[in-house]
């Protein structure tokens, strides 16, 4: 498999994952415009015709903003947790919308895509793990804490995309209203740099080769702070040194091999 974060952050999230043969792909979330998705696919030398499905993690606008136009333009089916599919507008072509359970595995584009529940302020939030033969990619953002299901999918991942949303000091001293700060720090909010790094340090297997830090806040974090915390934590564990990459909203990452 190969993966690129086309965009990641509070302004929009979209991940491209293709199978081992580079012939078919899926999107995880579609939170940027159709135009931007097409532009960023061109940047990684891929085209939208490869994409055979869009999987939605939850209904917040930074995860579904571009889905209606993109799905209709390229006739791509949408898969979302049933409660979200029934209650939230995703696409004006209802024939493209498919409800799934939060524990379901589907085989699409030569890959097995498995949903699992997590804790976030949403109707029915999920994250996804994707397997192709003997390789596993786990993609986890928008989680208030590292629950049992997240730990399971961190523990056996070959490639991990994990939220590292905020720096605690920046959040506390920042301009957000107090209730918003409390929500971000809650079990239904987001993972801090320390929470994210602790989860990887304590639960990831030594087979983890690359960690992509995702959903880095523009206002309450910096890429440098996220990288510093994760690097510091991993020095405490012998023979554990996954390559760390950063995913940002402003550009697509290179295509990384899982």
**Could you tell me which residues come within 8 angstroms of residue 70 by beta carbon, excluding any fewer than 6 positions away?**
30, 34, 37, 48, 54, 76
**pLDDT (0 to 100) of residue 61:** 96
**pLDDT (0 to 100) of residue 20:** 87
**Could you tell me which residues come within 8 angstroms of residue 27 by beta carbon, excluding any fewer than 6 positions away?**
6, 14, 15, 16, 17, 37, 51, 53, 54, 55, 76
**pLDDT (0 to 100) of residue 186:** 98
Mean pLDDT by 10 residues, the chain (258 residues): 95 95 94 97 96 98 97 98 97 98 97 98 97 96 97 98 98 97 98 98 95 96 97 92 90 94
- Looking at domain 2-252, what is its CATH homologous superfamily? Ribonuclease Z/Hydroxyacylglutathione hydrolase-like (3.60.15.10)
Q: Which strands form 78-81's sheet, in the order they lie side by side?
A: 97-100, 78-81, 51-55, 25-28, 14-18, 2-7, 256-257
Predicted structure pTM score: 0.96
**pLDDT (0 to 100) of residue 228:** 97
In the chain, domain spans:
2-252
């Amino acid at each position: 498999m190969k993966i690129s974060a086309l965009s990641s952050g509070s302004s929009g999230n979209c991940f491209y994952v293709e199978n081992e043969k580079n012939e078919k792909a899926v999107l995880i979330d579609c939170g940027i415009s159709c135009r931007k998705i097409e532009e960023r696919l061109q940047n990684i030398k891929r085209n939208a015709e490869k994409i055979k499905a869009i999987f939605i993690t939850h209904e917040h606008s930074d995860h579904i903003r571009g889905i209606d136009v993109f799905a209709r333009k390229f006739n791509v089916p949408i898969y979302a947790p049933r409660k979200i599919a029934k209650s939230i507008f995703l696409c004006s072509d209802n024939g493209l919308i498919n409800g799934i359970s939060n524990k379901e595995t589907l085989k699409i584009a030569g890959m097995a895509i498995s949903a699992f529940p997590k804790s976030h302020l949403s109707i029915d939030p999920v994250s996804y793990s994707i397997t192709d033969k003997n390789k596993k990619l786990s993609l986890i953002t928008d989680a208030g804490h590292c629950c049992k299901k997240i730990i399971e999918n961190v523990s056996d991942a070959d490639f991990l995309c994990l939220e590292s949303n905020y720096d605690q000091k920046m959040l506390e001293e920042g301009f957000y209203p107090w209730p918003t700060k409390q929500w971000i720090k809650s079990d239904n909010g987001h993972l801090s740099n320390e929470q994210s790094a602790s989860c990887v340090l304590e639960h990831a297997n030594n087979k983890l080769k690359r960690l992509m830090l995702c959903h880095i806040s523009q206002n309450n974090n910096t890429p440098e702070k996220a990288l510093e915390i994760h690097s510091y934590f991993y020095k405490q564990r012998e023979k554990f040194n996954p390559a760390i990459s950063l995913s940002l909203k402003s550009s697509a990452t290179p295509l990384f091999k899982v």
